[in-house]
């Protein structure tokens, strides 16, 4: 497990302005807070885990799931960049299976960066192309391709938090943006795990999409600036499981599309202000006591089975935190499993 201190990045098209995930009020005025969909999602899931990953810069080893996800995202991006829509349209008269076969011909033999597929990527891509073949059979071919394919957007906003105006750099890469015949913007995300059919999962996914809705509306580096999104949706290419982790199906992708929900946008903004508020109380000394830990009740379901950075968490006495970082955080001398 590596520790890579967070650096400040130049804010695109904002000369002299830098943003960083490790922002605190003691930084120079030209440094502002950086927020992405992933960083906000981490804060929503566990504030202390957010602190460890995004402020301390603790990096988990890359897993097979991470590599698989990267490979599938790359393959889908390349598909939209290269597919011959005209030829696909000529196949429609022969039926869906011909279109599906043509789409599946775009499954690469190996990944851009990780060599030959060894982690089930081909199966995931076939599941995805089944959904895409269904969509292609009923849509206008001229509207099939995305308006934005892995599109990078940036926004700089000023938000009032506890009576103080704070400047924030919002940044993100949206998997796909589509535009329908009425000019409505559709945001669509690609996930490579199971869809878990439970209310909490819908809530978390909707908040992810709400971040993109807000980003699109506020972005300054695209002709989308000021646009309002009408629909959002997501694919999960591994399949569907229920709330009790029983597999419902694993031989097809799960796809969901719905109108944008304003309540989730409002909830996301409240979470964003909560994140800013925690940073406003942070001094920069590597002590994240203002970022909440999971309760003992939740810890048994979240921390123990899944968290890979808990050795840096005060709930587990910082057992993996390097000694020099403990000194900077001012926590040496606490009950650290016998360390003084």
pLDDT digits (tens, 9 = 90+) for 168-218: 999 999 999 999 999 999 999 999 999 999 999 999 999 999 999 999 999
The residues, ordered by sequence, that sit 6+ positions from 329 with a Cβ below 8 Å of its Cβ are: 285, 286, 287, 318, 321
What pLDDT, on a 0 to 100 scale, did the predictor assign at position 334? 52
Distances (CA, A) of 115 to 71, 75, 79: 10, 13, 18
Compare 112 and 236 and report the one with higher pLDDT: 236
First to last CA, the chain: 24
Q: Using pLDDT thresholds of 50, 70 and 90, give the confidence band for residue 123.
A: very high
Residue 331 CB neighbours (<10 A): 19
Task: Say whether pLDDT at 336 is over 50.
Answer: no
The residues, ordered by sequence, that sit 6+ positions from 250 with a Cβ below 8 Å of its Cβ are: 194, 238, 239, 240
Task: Say whether pLDDT at 340 is over 60.
Answer: no
Segment 44-80, tens digit of pLDDT: 999 999 999 999 999 988 899 999 999 999 999 999 9
What pLDDT, on a 0 to 100 scale, did the predictor assign at position 339? 46
- Tell me the C-alpha distance between 59 and 169, whole Å: 22
Segment 279-333, tens digit of pLDDT: 999 999 999 999 999 999 999 888 988 899 999 999 999 999 999 999 999 987 6
**Range 22-26 average pLDDT:** 97
Kindly state the greatest CA–CA separation across the chain: 76
Task: Encode 87-118: b = buried (16+ Cβ within 10 Å), e = exposed.
Answer: ebeebeeeeeeebbebbbebbbeebeebeebe
**Range 38-46 average pLDDT:** 96
Mean pLDDT over each residue of the chain, to the nearest integer: 94
Task: Say whether pLDDT at 337 is over 60.
Answer: no
> What residues form DSSP beta bridges with 3?
58
- Tell me the C-alpha distance between 283 and 141, whole Å: 54
**Range 117-136 average pLDDT:** 97
What pLDDT, on a 0 to 100 scale, did the predictor assign at position 16? 95
- Tell me the C-alpha distance between 234 and 242, whole Å: 17
Instruction: Please say whether the beta carbons of 88 and 101 come within 8 A.
Output: no
């Amino acid at each position: 497990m590596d520790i890579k201190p967070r650096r400040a990045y130049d804010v695109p098209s904002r000369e002299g302005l830098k943003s960083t995930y490790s922002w605190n009020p003691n930084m120079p005025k030209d440094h502002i807070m950086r927020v992405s969909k992933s960083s906000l999602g981490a804060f929503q899931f566990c504030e202390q885990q957010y602190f460890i990953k995004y402020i301390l810069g603790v990096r988990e080893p890359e897993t097979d799931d991470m590599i698989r996800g990267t490979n599938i995202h790359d393959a889908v991006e390349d598909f939209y960049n290269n597919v011959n829509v005209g030829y696909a349209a000529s196949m429609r008269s022969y039926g869906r299976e011909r279109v599906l076969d043509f789409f599946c011909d775009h499954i690469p033999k190996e990944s851009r960066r990780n060599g030959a597929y060894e982690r089930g990527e081909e199966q995931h891509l076939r599941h995805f192309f089944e959904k895409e073949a269904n969509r292609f059979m009923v849509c206008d071919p001229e509207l099939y391709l995305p308006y934005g394919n892995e599109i990078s957007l940036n926004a700089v906003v000023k938000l009032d938090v506890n009576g103080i105006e704070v400047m924030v750099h919002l940044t993100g890469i949206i998997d796909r943006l589509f535009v329908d015949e009425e000019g409505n913007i559709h945001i669509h995300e690609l996930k490579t795990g199971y869809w878990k059919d439970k209310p909490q999962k819908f809530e978390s996914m909707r908040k992810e999409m709400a971040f993109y809705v807000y980003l699109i509306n506020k972005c300054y580096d695209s002709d989308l600036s000021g646009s309002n999104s009408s629909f959002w949706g997501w694919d999960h290419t591994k399949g569907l499981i229920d709330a009790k982790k029983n597999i419902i199906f694993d031989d097809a992708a799960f796809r969901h599309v719905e109108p944008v929900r304003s309540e989730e946008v409002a909830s996301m903004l409240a979470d964003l202000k909560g994140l800013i508020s925690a940073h406003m109380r942070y001094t920069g000394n590597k002590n994240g006591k203002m970022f909440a830990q999971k309760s003992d009740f939740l810890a048994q379901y979240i921390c123990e089975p899944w968290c890979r950075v808990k050795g840096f968490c005060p709930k587990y006495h910082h057992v993996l935190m390097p000694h020099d970082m403990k000194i900077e955080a001012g926590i040496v001398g606490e009950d650290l499993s016998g360390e003084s």
